[in-house]
Amino acid sequence: MLIKMNNKTINILGGDYEFTLDISGKCEDYKFKYHPSHLQEIYKKILNHQIFEVSEFSLSNYAMMRDRSICDMVAIPIFINRGFRHGIMWVRSDSKISNPSELKNAKVGIKDYSQTAAVWLRGILFDEYKVHWSEIKWFANKLQRFEAPASVDISLIDEDPEELLISGELDVYVAPRPQDLKRPINNRKLKPMLNNVIEIEKNYFNRSGIYPINHCVVIHKQTYSKHPNIGHALFNAYTKSKQRALERKLGSTFLPWAESNWRETMQLFNNDPYPYGLNQSNRKNVGKLINYLSEQELIDQKPNIEDLFINESLHWE
């Protein structure tokens, strides 16, 4: 039986990653075009309910939109972005703060309170260091994706929280990549709170089995209605692209000494730091994030993990 190729190209928005380089092209009976894009622009588009076809999106924000019944998309378990979160706390170079356990009553700046990285960090602060989010004074930009819960001690500010940290008005700034990193090393004003963060994060992974998931892949409901079989084709396209990247060892062939780091890292993550699908490891990961969203009062009802993703994806491998 001949399968008619879908003539329409499906556009995919996402970050510029090494393991998405080969997504564009034909897969099953679809044609995909991957558009490496600025993530903040993607999120602005989705949060403003503008039309898209397929996109990378914050898993926590997706769960929050579902909880508020304002979600016009469905998700598939392609976890395209992950990151450990012990290393996103920054202090001034002369700061005496050296441990997250010291953050009770601290003034902590963050651009967006509801971003997935912040959800993970607040959960880890309590689980690992017994500092609850309610014991911190938060300072965030006035323009927020979602309004913070009433129970949060938060001040919305016009100023850049990173600059407020540098000037001494805040104690800590939370960000994966502060602007200060663009300065020459000798001119930097900030330093990571934890100076042995790689060792700490490896230990966290060995104990928890969690490499925190940030983003998943979502399909606009209009696209999904027109192309009800698109999910599996997307899953295969992302999987094959990632496999090619693993075979080429992208990320290890350009920098000196990276080959040995590649081998050690792959051994730690069982040869795939970014597994897709709802295997036991990913279920544990997503479940932990859902628990954090609930405990932080960012969602009212805890969804079943299976309910977050389209039914046919529950057994994809």
Q: What's the pLDDT score for residue 1?
A: 34
Q: How open is the CA angle 17-20-24, to the nearest 5 degrees? A: 140
Is residue 186 domain-shared with residue 217, that is, in the same domain? no
| Number of alpha carbons in the 13 Å side-chain half-sphere of residue 174 | 29
Whole domain around residue 142: which residue ranges?
86-208
Residue 44 sits in the same domain as residue 102: no
Answer yes or no: do 109 and 134 share one domain: yes
173, 190 contact by CB (below 8 A): yes
90 and 237: one domain? no
**What DSSP string runs through 152-200?**
S-EEEESS-HHHHHHTTS-SEEE-SS-GGGGS-GGG--EEES-TTHHHH
Q: What is the pLDDT of residue 2?
A: 36
DSSP labels, 85-97: SGGGEEEETT---
Output the pLDDT for position 127.
97
Given a cut of 50, whether residue 197 has pLDDT beyond it is yes
pLDDT at 28 over 70: yes
In a domain, 147, yes or no: yes
Residues 224, 191, single domain; the answer is no
Q: What is the pLDDT of residues 293-307, one digit of tens each?
A: 999 999 999 999 999
Shared domain check, 111 and 38: no
**Does residue 1 fall inside a structural domain?**
no
Can you give the pLDDT at residue 317? 83
Mean pLDDT to the nearest integer, 62-66: 98
Per-residue model confidence as pLDDT tens digits over 215-254: 999 999 999 999 999 999 999 999 999 999 999 987 788 8
For residue 154, what is the domain's CATH number? 3.40.190.10
Question: Which pLDDT belongs to residue 77?
Answer: 98
> Which of 193, 208, 223 is the last residue before a domain boundary?
208
**124-180, pLDDT tens digit by residue?**
999 999 999 999 999 999 999 999 999 999 999 999 999 999 999 999 999 999 999
